[in-house]
Amino acid sequence: MKLTSSCLLTRVQILEELLFNDKPIEICDDCWIAVKCQSGIYDRFDPRCFIHCSKITCKEIIDQSYPDILPVPAGTIVFGHIFFIYTKEDMIKFNARSISPSYVCYNDQLCDEFYPNKSLISFNNVTYRRPADFPLKLKSFALTRGNWFNMYVLPLYQELSHSNKIHYNESANCNNLTMYKCINSSMCISKHRLCDNVTDCKYNDDEECTQINGSCLLHGLDNLFKCTTTNICISPALVKDGWCQCGSDQYAFCDDEDLNNLYIRKHVSFTTICDGCTELIPVTINGRYKTDETECEYWQCTDEIDCYSSSLSFNCPYQHYHICVSPQTNQFMCLPLEKHHQRCHRGLPLRIWLNIDQNLTIAACLCPPSFYGNMCQYQNQRVSLTLRFQTFSDSRRTLFALIILLIDDSNERIIHSYQQLTYIYIRDCQTKFNIYLLYSSRPKNLTKHYFIHIDIYEKISFTYRRSFLIPLKYPFLPVHCIAVQLTIPHTNDRQENCLDQPCIRGECIKYSNNSNYNSFCQCYHEWTGKYCTIPYRCTCSSDSLCVGISSNNRSICICLLHKWGSQCLLHNTICYSNQNGTCQNNGKCIPIDENIASDKPFICICPKGFSGERCEIVDNKIILSFHKDIILPQTMFVHFIRAIHNALHENGSTFKTILANQKSVTIQWPHPFHVAFLDFFNNNYYLIIVQNKYNPSTRIIRTITRLDHCKHISEILNETIMKLHPLRRIKYYQLPCQKRSPLLSCFYDDNHFCFCNDYDHQRLTNCFEFNHGIEHNCFGQSNCENDAHCLQDKATCPQTSICVCPKCFYGARCQFTSNLFDLSLDAILGYYIQPRINIKHQPSIVQK
């Protein structure tokens, strides 16, 4: 087991003992043990100290046998040349738990760029400095860390990297966009080390991170964290690291540590206004402190105030127990430390029957892929991969087979391990697939380079879609932890072939996600290898697709939809058994992958107009007609809001085209909602319905009048109120519904949409946050063309999306144009043609 493994609780103690393992030849064994006891390497109550320092004290032994000056430990400690000197005077004088070295010594040819200081002694190219003259924060380490290694060795690693005399090749390294060149120095560092509270450059210019005009776009970095308390910028590595780097405000909140609490305490939310609990940090307005609970005279009061508070305290004896959850009761308990790590570490305990008649059994452990050994005590070299996939709207109902391979760069292109996943957007749009990929040999061959290769096929048709490459950098690392999100290309994306690979029995394919234009050979059936020169025999069933062979000579098979197993020889009949009706209303049944733990044996892909687990729910239908005074646009948006308790509201949108002479529109919506309203563009809103309880499969018929029009708050409240701070102004939002009812149904401001609702014999206001200027691009997953708007039914995991075409464009993706023609029949008659209506009943202009 490695001495430096971070999994060892006694790691620091082992490192200390390792450093002090070699005794200087200048002193005897008894004196060396006395030095360890006096300096704190051995605890004062350690039996070794008790025995050797019982007749005379450790200090007396040191006084008799210790030379005037001695390097302790005997060898170098840091960077191969830095070591400590302890004088006899200091070793005897101090009574601290860990004694500070008298001098820190280094080779002045390998270490420079120190700040000027006073105590400097040089001898034979070795420089001696007092620890007090080093730019080290030893006091802060001493207060928090406690032992000798953390107090005196660790600061050298963390804070003296700027003093190493390392000159980089400027043309090869320092001119790289990822590097930063220190001022007046030949040294350059990675930009990731900027603003990390560690001085790397001589003049501390790498830590000059003051905001410029309120912006943290410094040194070409766009990911620095902005501190609002101290007007500085810090590295993202320092955020939520357990130490407050930005400084605390007057309420003891720290920007970089209390991110969630600060958002809650500073964000003005309508749902927390005047609810009896003070959530917001007080704001000074006109010399007075205001909170979300001041000036609440217009708000309904309740008899009970239930402010959430909770505390969890579970006291265990400090030294000999730690808290854990009992596997029998699922309750917290105190576990003695001597029982820690008993039996299976990170594994499941099993009992294997050797002989049932003789009742012979042995205890064993079932290890996860990341561990091995009789107690699962050793870690495997592995790749820990977290994958998340996104698709464009044209592939949201397509079932994909994902083949994830761990491959090396040899001519055999050995597949060390693989995982096969089944992906369909309607089920897996938010799924994070966590998989382990192991190397075929233990330990792995460090002379090879490894990478992850992902193939994507359409499950039903076996159509190859594209491939992705994920390189594994730093091959010396035993474990690679990678998280990546990949977007499956459009259906009509052309496969990029190439000519830079001599594929003997295959074709050259470019990776979809690689900016370096890397390519690979996609081999024909029963051929493998880097250039498809190695034959193999496929053992997959004849109706499956064979995509390669693993390192243990097993074929990698993609099965038909209703077959499974390593060779696709087993059948899944759940979708044909018709148990409990499977999918209703012509929904498509998809069996769940057999190697995925799920309580649902299948899922249903529902046709348009139906939803639910078995397509049993008919979509809501809203039929709207309009008063003659309302001027209708050719196109309008329809927004739906779903209120979720103790969570952000869900927004979804669709659009309707209003045909010429059309008196009504019909809107189908498959998701739960509580508020629906129309958007005639330019913030021209009309309220459709507010329902406290969602009723599925309902038919809503309404006539929209001018009373349903939503005004801006500036048209309702007077100018004096509108000039108030937003925290004060929002307190008056109850007045419009109370004083203007029933002539007012809704209103809005720059950040909210509000409506009037009847509650407990009162007319009250309710508001939710609404982004009026949202960019309709389906959050980057749009397949619309020609600058068309893309609308989707939900912000997260949308099931449907549609394109709103600009003028002179049409088609499902707005891919067609009439710009090339002076007059287009579509442009003239488009809005007169009524879909799904017989020609006999079309307007006369269309019939002619």
State how far the Cα of 307 lies from the Cα of 755, in Å rounded to an integer.
Answer: 26
Regarding predicted confidence, which is higher, 326 or 123? 326
- The pLDDT tens digits of the residues spanning 642-657 come to 988 877 888 888 888 8
For residues 96 and 122, membership in a common domain is answered with: yes
pLDDT of residue 305 exceeding 90? no
Query: Which of 587, 613, 639 is the last residue in one of the domains?
Result: 613
pLDDT at residue 165 in the model: 53
Confidence at 754, pLDDT banded by 50, 70, 90? very high
Confidence at 534, pLDDT banded by 50, 70, 90? very high
pLDDT at residue 134 in the model: 65
Closest CA to 419 of 294, 623, 593: 593
Regarding predicted confidence, which is higher, 669 or 250? 669
For residues 603 and 486, membership in a common domain is answered with: no
Least trusted range by pLDDT, from 75-79, 398-402, 775-779: 775-779
Give the 3-state secondary structure of 462-486: CCEEEEEEEECCCCCCCEEEEEEEE
**Two structure tokens written together for 192:** 């990731």
Least trusted range by pLDDT, from 269-278, 470-479, 629-638: 269-278
Regarding predicted confidence, which is higher, 721 or 175? 721
For residues 147 and 79, membership in a common domain is answered with: yes
For residues 159 and 34, membership in a common domain is answered with: yes
For residues 519 and 594, membership in a common domain is answered with: no
Residue 310 lies in a domain: no
Confidence at 168, pLDDT banded by 50, 70, 90? very low
Q: Which residue has the tokens 């089944």?
A: 422
CATH number at residue 394: 2.60.40
Closest CA to 401 of 568, 172, 635, 223: 568
CB 383 within 8 Å of CB 482: yes
State how far the Cα of 513 lies from the Cα of 487, in Å rounded to an integer.
Answer: 9
State how far the Cα of 504 lies from the Cα of 638, in Å rounded to an integer.
Answer: 56
Confidence at 313, pLDDT banded by 50, 70, 90? very low
Query: Which of 379, 399, 422 is the last residue in one of the domains?
Result: 379
pLDDT of residue 167 exceeding 60? no
Query: What size, in residues, is the chain?
Result: 848
Q: In sequence order, what are the residues at sequence separation of 6 or more whose Cβ sits closer than 8 angstroms to the Cβ of residue 357?
A: none
For residues 78 and 226, membership in a common domain is answered with: no
**Mean pLDDT computed over 113-133:** 67
State how far the Cα of 87 lies from the Cα of 622, in Å rounded to an integer.
Answer: 89
**Two structure tokens written together for 88:** 């006899």
**Mean pLDDT computed over 751-769:** 88
pLDDT at residue 455 in the model: 96
Confidence at 171, pLDDT banded by 50, 70, 90? low
Confidence at 42, pLDDT banded by 50, 70, 90? confident
Q: What share of the chain is helix, strand, coil (3-state, %, to 5)?
A: 15, 30, 50
pLDDT of residue 504 exceeding 80? yes
**Mean pLDDT computed over 266-289:** 80
- The pLDDT tens digits of the residues spanning 700-743 come to 999 999 999 999 999 999 999 999 999 999 999 999 998 876 78
CB 786 within 8 Å of CB 792: no
Confidence at 310, pLDDT banded by 50, 70, 90? very low
pLDDT of residue 391 exceeding 80? yes
> Considering the chain, what is the average pLDDT of its residues?
81
pTM confidence score? 0.61
Range of the domain at 108: 11-163
For residues 86 and 216, membership in a common domain is answered with: no
Q: Which residues pair with 468 in a beta bridge?
A: 454
Element holding 154 (H helix, E strand): helix 154-159
pLDDT at residue 311 in the model: 31
pLDDT at residue 578 in the model: 64
pLDDT of residue 281 exceeding 90? no
State how far the Cα of 433 lies from the Cα of 426, in Å rounded to an integer.
Answer: 15
State how far the Cα of 448 lies from the Cα of 291, in Å rounded to an integer.
Answer: 62
pLDDT at residue 304 in the model: 38
- The pLDDT tens digits of the residues spanning 470-479 come to 999 888 899 9
Closest CA to 703 of 760, 663, 668, 661: 663
Least trusted range by pLDDT, from 11-15, 624-628, 650-654: 11-15
Residue 267 lies in a domain: no
For residues 699 and 831, membership in a common domain is answered with: no
pLDDT at residue 836 in the model: 55
CB 191 within 8 Å of CB 181: no
Closest CA to 774 of 797, 751, 754, 796: 751
Residue 565 lies in a domain: no
The CA-atom distances, in angstroms, between 765 and each of 543, 720, 735 are 63, 20, 8
Residue 567 lies in a domain: no
For residues 19 and 152, membership in a common domain is answered with: yes
pLDDT at residue 416 in the model: 95
pLDDT at residue 415 in the model: 95
For residues 444 and 475, membership in a common domain is answered with: yes
pLDDT at residue 653 in the model: 85
Using a 10 angstrom Cβ sphere, with 0-12 exposed, 13-18 middle and 19 or more buried, the burial of residue 404 is: buried
pLDDT at residue 118 in the model: 57
**Two structure tokens written together for 795:** 């912000």
For residues 419 and 504, membership in a common domain is answered with: yes
pLDDT of residue 142 exceeding 50? no
**Mean pLDDT computed over 227-246:** 86
Torsion of CA 234, 239, 245, 250, to 10 degrees: 120
CB 631 within 8 Å of CB 650: no
State how far the Cα of 591 lies from the Cα of 581, in Å rounded to an integer.
Answer: 14
pLDDT of residue 174 exceeding 80? no
CB atoms within 10 A of CB 835: 6
Query: Which of 200, 222, 249 is the last residue in one of the domains?
Result: 249
Confidence at 117, pLDDT banded by 50, 70, 90? low
For the chain, how many structural domains are there in total?
Answer: 7
CB 253 within 8 Å of CB 281: yes
CB 570 within 8 Å of CB 543: no
What are the φ/ψ torsions at residue 418 (nearest 5 degrees)? -155, 160
Q: How far is CA 35 from the centre of its chain?
A: 49
For residues 397 and 530, membership in a common domain is answered with: yes
pLDDT of residue 525 exceeding 90? yes
CB 580 within 8 Å of CB 569: no
pLDDT of residue 680 exceeding 80? yes
Regarding predicted confidence, which is higher, 306 or 551? 551
Three-class secondary structure of residue 319 per DSSP: coil
- The pLDDT tens digits of the residues spanning 419-452 come to 999 999 988 888 899 999 999 999 999 889 999 9
Amino acid of residue 130: R
pLDDT of residue 827 exceeding 80? no
pLDDT at residue 832 in the model: 55
What are the φ/ψ torsions at residue 777 (nearest 5 degrees)? -130, 20
**Two structure tokens written together for 525:** 């059936």
Residue 673 lies in a domain: yes
Closest CA to 470 of 406, 545, 553: 406
**Two structure tokens written together for 296:** 């609440």
